[in-house]
Amino acid sequence: ADSPVTWAKDAEQRLDRVPEGFMRDMTRQRVEIFARNNGVDTITPDLIEEKYGEWGKGSTKQNQQLEWNDAAMERISKIPDFIRGMVMLEIERCAKETGSDTVTGEHIDAASGSWEKMGGFHSESDSGQYKK
């Protein structure tokens, strides 16, 4: 079984800045896995920043490949910088798999709904997850 981890109060407050719902739940889960993998039993803001830094390295490598309509760009701008590139890549994958070359709010909804069902958002392991 996974060893339990404790969240320091200031770490919980840091997590509260992530949008409520799936994004926060996924962030919590990934930070806890990161803590366990590093032998840490109390999550601190520094540990969260370390994980964000790891995500950020992956996110900055991603470049926008499709057009995004204004509504979709407005929504994606609310996602924290450190993970936005990876999220955009996945949403673009959803748009491509559904035959579109412009990302809309419908693609964001479809992609996030799929992630929620799967408990994660990297579709390389499940290509075709966004096809109707």
Whether the per-residue pLDDT at 132 is higher than 60: the answer is no
Domain boundary among 43, 60, 77: 60
State the pTM of this model.
0.57
Domain count, the chain: 2
Write the pLDDT tens digit of every residue in 99-112.
999 999 999 998 88
Q: Are residues 48 and 74 in the same domain?
A: no
Is 82 in the same domain as 121?
yes
**For residue 132, is it within any domain?**
no
Q: What is the mean pLDDT of residues 10-32?
A: 87
26, part of any domain: yes
Provide the b/e sequence for 86-122 (b: ≥16 CB within 10 Å). bbbbbbbbbbebeeeeebbeebbebbbebbeeeeebe
Determine the pLDDT at residue 10. Answer: 97
Domain holding 29, by residue range, is: 6-60
d(CA 108, CA 105): 5
Supply the CATH number for residue 88's domain. 1.10.8.550
pLDDT in tens, 22-44: 778 888 888 998 899 889 999 99
Q: Are 132 and 98 in contact (CB under 8 A)?
A: yes
Radius of gyration of the chain (CA): 16
